[in-house]
A = this chain, B = another copy of it.
Amino acid sequence: MGPEELRKLLESVRTRDTSIEEAINKLKMLPYDDLGYAKIDYHRHLRKGFPEVIFCQGKTVEQVAEIFKRLSRASDTNIIGTRASEEMFQAVKKHVPGAEYDAMSKMLMRRFSNTAKRGKVCVCSAGTADLPVAEEAALTCELMGNHVERIYDTGVAGIHRLLDQVDKISQANVIIVVAGMEGALPSVVGGLVDKPVIAVPTSVGYGASFHGLAALLGMLNSCASGVTVVNIDNGFGAGYAASLINKLAGDQ
């Protein structure tokens, strides 16, 4: 139940279109629903401006299906499940026929077409192997109501590819930069634009990349100002933060 629905409910109580009893029934699942293994937080949309996101990794297929089902019944907003398996998707689809799955980013979604669109978030990625993470970020932004510009495969070793795109990048309110290996791209982008940059290190690489540690450290030590960092491979986190930032710029 989102804030819009809640306001309507309370107004209809005031206008006596809804009885107290009915209102209580609708509200009683607040603030959360306790499944024993999980407490579903329907209140979250009110508090954070977006419904609960399901971090699927480490949950059983049954748990994911049950939580997704309950969230989909409780509200009419978009729903996001990250790091989901194909098998989880199959289980969810039985209960929520409109659910979708993106195999590259491993995202499980319920998506409504009437999502309002805010200004542009730009998602840059350094190499082709970084795409799953970049797509997780891009899809999260889209599901949270943002226009997304994708600029992929623009690593720093071929700097001219990046310089060609500076105009496009500059038009976004926020830039998400996804890179593995040495993770240098956010520094270069951050030096070219005057917008907040969210850097996402990926585990792409081998040897002394130490599963993304090299990229993470590189980004944390960026000599460019205005760069902040999220966890390795955390495309969702970058997309979520970018959405909160983009919201500040107001609707278009």
Q: List the interface of chain A (C-beta within 8 A of B).
A: 31-32, 34, 36-39, 41, 43-44, 47-50, 53, 55, 57-59, 63, 83, 126-131, 152-161, 163, 173-174, 181-184, 187-188, 190-196, 198, 201, 203-234, 236-238, 240-241, 244-246, 248-250
Cβ–Cβ contact B225 & A214, under 8 A = no
- Which of A128, A130, A240 has the most chain B CB within a 10 Å cutoff? A128
User: Are B244's CB and A196's CB within 8 A?
Assistant: yes
B218 with A182: CB separation less than 8 A: yes
A31 to B165, CA, bound (A): 13
State the copy count for this chain.
8
Instruction: Knowing A173-B248, A228-B241, say if A209 contacts B198 (CB, 8 Å).
Output: no
- Chain B residues near A39: list those with CB within 8 A: 152-154, 158, 161
Measured CB to CB, the nearest residue on chain B to A228 is B228
A156 in contact with B221 (CB, 8 Å): no
List, in ascending order, chain B residues with CB within 8 A of A47's CB.
192, 194
CB pair B55–A127 under 8 Å, yes or no, is yes
Residues in B with CB closer than 8 Å to A220 are: 182, 207-208, 214, 216, 229-232
Min CB distance A46 to B, Å, is 9
Q: Which residues of B contact A183 (CB under 8 A)?
A: 182, 218, 221
Cα separation A58 to B31 with both chains bound (whole Å): 40
CB <8 Å contact, A214 and B218 = yes
- Most chain B CB within a 10 A radius of its CB, from A154, A217, A246: A217
Q: Are B217 and A182 in contact (CB under 8 A)?
A: yes
The answer to whether B57 touches A129 (Cβ under 8 A) is yes
Check A49 against B223 for contact (C-beta < 8 Å): no
Task: Find out whether the CB atom of B53 lies under 8 angstroms from the CB atom of A225.
Answer: yes
Q: Give the residues in chain B near A223, CB-CB below 8 Å.
A: 126-127, 155-157, 181-182, 184
Residue of chain B at shortest CB distance from A58: B129
Asked whether, in the complex, the Cβ of B209 is within 8 Å of the Cβ of A217, the reply is yes
A39 CB to nearest B CB, Å: 4
| With contact pairs A36-B152, A173-B248, A245-B196 given, residues A240 and B221 touching in the complex (Cβ less than 8 Å) | no
